[in-house]
Amino acid sequence: MTIRSLLFLVLPFAAGLANADEVNIYTARHYPGDDELYAKFTEHTGIEVNVVDGKGDALLERIKAEGEKSPADIFITVDAGRLWAAEQAGIFAPAESEVLIESVPAEFRHPDNLWFGITKRARLIFYSKERVDPENLSTYQNLADPEWKDRILIRSSSNVYNQSLLGMIIAEEGPEGAEQWAAGVVKNFARKPQSNDTGQLRAVAAGLGDVAVANHYYYVRLMLSDKTEDLEVIENVGIFFPNQGEGEGGAHVNISGAGMVKGAPHPEAAIKFLEFLTSPEAQEILALGNAEFPVNPNATIPEVLETFVFEENDTPSSVIGENNPEAIRIFDRVGWR
């Protein structure tokens, strides 16, 4: 390993010496099950998996800068907005495969097969069991209501999960409606947006605010923890599936996804890898590793997620992605840092 890394230095062109039996992956996912997954793939196919992981935005810039000489075969990222940005940058090539079309339902893949969803995650509302009656909770939209003044906890708008949530609300309510909503939520903040999703859940439990917005798997992670302070959070914080009423559109669901890079040096291996990622076997490893929902309907949903049954919002990922810059402008204007 070390010798090979040094080879990269003394023989800069070593990177260009393509090995037939390998696939090169740039990924923005770093969840516990992912390494196990790559090992499984090598075991099944004999194809070595080379990985660079980092922030999705930055990796996308790297692929763009490397241009047609990029060694990347596959780009994996964790948000619909980012998939859309990558597609706009023209870095994806269509991956033609019957297997992929069978495995991934149409709403979770690009119409021209430029990218495929791998897992789903829901952005849900969490509340203090002590201070909030879930009867009073209804929709994301309702969080802008003055009744929640000084009670809402949510992270910074620099986070892509919030950007996608607002992207969905722009699609539902139009830009003006979305700006009014964001301004209303800002007025209701219990504190300046800070920390991460887990931090919001802990803050609800500690009593700093009453209602938080977070991705579902952070809550599940605390459920599965063996630390007493984590379990205390779960004891004090309830989970609420928003927008489940008639005509409310359903809860916001986002995807992580992957696509084949244009000019990939190993296109066949790349398609095999995508097929593997969406196969029931890999889907179950992925879903278990981070308590996410598999996109392949034939994959078993992890036991811990069995109670998570809810209506999903069907705004296409591409629309959410397209609204991303507008969402940030709105956040800037209403002072949601």
The residue range among 137-145, 158-166, 238-246, 277-285 that interacts with another protein, by the rule CB under 8 A, is 158-166
In three-state secondary structure terms, 197 is helix
In sequence order, what are the beta bridge partners of 22?
Answer: 48
Which residues ranging from 83 to 102 are in contact with another protein (CB under 8 A)? 85
Q: Are 153 and 203 in contact (CB under 8 A)?
A: yes
Task: Determine the interface stretch with another protein among 156-164, 168-176, 268-276, 292-300 (rule: CB under 8 A).
Answer: 156-164
Closest to another protein by CB, 88 vs 298, is: 88
Beta bridge partners of 153: 212
Residue range at the interface with another protein (CB under 8 A); choices 93-101, 104-112, 197-205, 246-254: 197-205
3-state secondary structure of 76: strand
Footprint of another protein on 218-237 (CB under 8 A): 218, 221, 227
Name the amino acid, one letter, at 245: G
Show the tokens assigned to 271. 């398609």
314 binds another protein (CB under 8 A): no
Residues 205 and 187 sit within 8 Å (Cβ to Cβ) = no
Binding mask 29-68 for another protein (x = CB under 8 A): -xx------------------xxxxxx-xxx-xx--xxx-
Residues facing residue 264 across a β-bridge = none
Q: Is the distance from CB of 208 to CB of 191 less than 8 angstroms?
A: yes
Determine the size of the site formed for another protein (CB under 8 A): 61
Instruction: Give the residue with the Cβ less far from another protein, 67 or 105.
Output: 67
What are the φ/ψ torsions at residue 246 (nearest 5 degrees)? -60, 125
- CA dihedral (224, 231, 198, 322) in degrees, to 10, reads 50
Interface with another protein by CB under 8 A: which residues? 1-2, 5-6, 8-9, 12-16, 24, 30-31, 50-55, 57-59, 61-62, 65-67, 69-71, 85, 156, 158, 160, 163, 191-199, 202-203, 205-208, 218, 221, 227, 324-325, 328-329, 332-333, 337
